[in-house]
Amino acid sequence: MKTAVDAGVAQYAQLASVLRHQIAQGEIPAGSRLPTVAELAEAHGVARITARQAYGVLAREGLVHSARGRGTFVADAPTQRGAGLDAHLRAAINDPAAAELRIDLIEQQRRQPLPADLLGPFKPCASYDMVKKRHIHQGEPFCLIEMHVDSSVRALFPRGAEKRHKIAWLINQHAPGRLHEVQQTLSVAPADLPLSRALDCPFGTPVLQMTRRVLDRQGQVVLAGRFWYRGDRFVMDQSIPFDVWLHHPGMVIPDYHRGP
């Protein structure tokens, strides 16, 4: 019987989720032979086609592979959320100056107001340019971004620069000293259909959502955006001195209700 937690989730997706968790936690070690489709179906009380579909999901994610006549096995180096990301992808995510990524521009709009939820209690600039883009590493998308940047600052960028560099890096290069404070909020939600298509990930798999605004010293929002990261291709690297974390909690948990 389905509970309120799994109501509406396809059986194969539920089964894939159980196996994914067991692999991630090391309960099923790398290289292990998994049950046959018939064995898996019987163990979990589902149809064989459901078991076969669950294995198909995990195979597409690179977690398992099948060998004809031998069975289905856990990959030798299964993807671990965050921990298994190579150094180049970690840099592509965390380094504003990262060069080892491809940037696909999806949509651009000029001189728009900043959405109210991104402005918060802070001062707006006169207008913003919206850039919707996708970040890709080694042929795989890992992030969908909707970015809003002060139109007067974006006018300083060389033509086409957003296809080669991250916007925060461009602002620092062409309007040095303008960026003063970064605020961001992270949450996790299942991928809906547009996100699963944009990020090339299964429907309903975890996606990290980040909202970020960057202020200048006058409390104006110079840059603000929404980010959606594939859950299996995200890790945030941070190093915060303990005394800063202890005595200045606003650096980790900003007070979004304060005014400029």
Mean pLDDT calculated for residue range 82-101: 79
Give the type of residue at 237: D
The radius of gyration of the chain's CA atoms, rounded to the nearest angstrom, is 22
Question: Average pLDDT in the 147-152 region?
Answer: 98
The residue type at 95: D
pLDDT at 249: 61
First to last CA, the chain: 52
pLDDT tens readout for residues 152-206: 999 999 999 999 999 999 999 999 999 999 999 999 998 899 999 999 987 888 8
| Tokens of residue 108, six digits | 């651009």
Q: Name the β-bridge partners of 102.
A: 136
- Condensed to tens digits (0 to 9), the pLDDT of residues 30-62 reads 899 999 999 999 999 999 999 999 999 899 888
Burial of 56 (0-12, 13-18, 19+ CB in 10 A): middle
Determine the Cα–Cα distance for residues 48 and 55; give it in Å rounded to an integer: 11
pLDDT given for residue 4 in this prediction: 37
The pLDDT of residue 7:
47
Least confident of 66-80, 120-134, 138-152, 213-227: 66-80
Please give the Cα distance from 123 to 216 (Å, whole number): 10
Query: Contact at 8 Å (CB) between 146 and 132?
Result: yes
pLDDT at 245: 67
Q: What is the distance between the alpha carbons of residues 124 and 200, in angstroms, rounded to a whole number?
A: 34
Backbone angles phi, psi at 59, to 5 degrees: -65, -40
Question: CA neighbours within 13 Å on the CB side: how many for 242?
Answer: 0
Tell me the C-alpha distance between 83 and 96, whole Å. Answer: 20
d(CA 49, CA 55): 10
Lowest mean pLDDT among 39-53, 75-89, 106-120: 75-89
Q: How confident is the model at residue 243 (pLDDT cuts 50, 70, 90)?
A: confident
Architecture of the domain whose range is 87-251: 3-Layer(aba) Sandwich (3.40)
User: What CA–CA distances, in Å, run from 134 to 112, 118, 146?
Assistant: 20, 20, 9
**What fold characterizes domain 11-74?**
Arc Repressor Mutant, subunit A (1.10.10)
Residues carrying CATH 3.40.1410.10, the chain: 87-251
Structure tokens given for 230: 């594939």
Q: Would you place residue 151 in the very low, low, confident or very high pLDDT band (cuts 50, 70, 90)? A: very high
Q: Any idea which of 14-18, 105-109, 122-126 has the lowest mean pLDDT?
A: 14-18
- Of 100, 78, 82, the C-alpha closest to 29 is 78
pLDDT tens digits, one per residue of 166-176: 999 999 999 99
Mean pLDDT (the chain) is: 86
DSSP-derived secondary structure for 172-196:
HHHSTT---EEEEEEEEEE--HHHH
- Tell me what the mean pLDDT of segment 97-101 comes to: 87
Domain ranges in the chain with CATH number 1.10.10.10: 11-74
Question: What DSSP designation does 25 have?
Answer: T
Q: Worst-scoring range by mean pLDDT, 71-85, 98-112, 160-174?
A: 71-85
What residue has token string 């294995």?
55
Is residue 3 very low, low, confident or very high in pLDDT (cuts 50, 70, 90)?
very low
Q: Is the pTM of this model over 0.75?
A: no
223: which strand partners? 149, 214
Q: Characterize the bridge pairing of strands 181-190 and 206-215.
A: antiparallel
> What was the pLDDT predicted at 212?
95
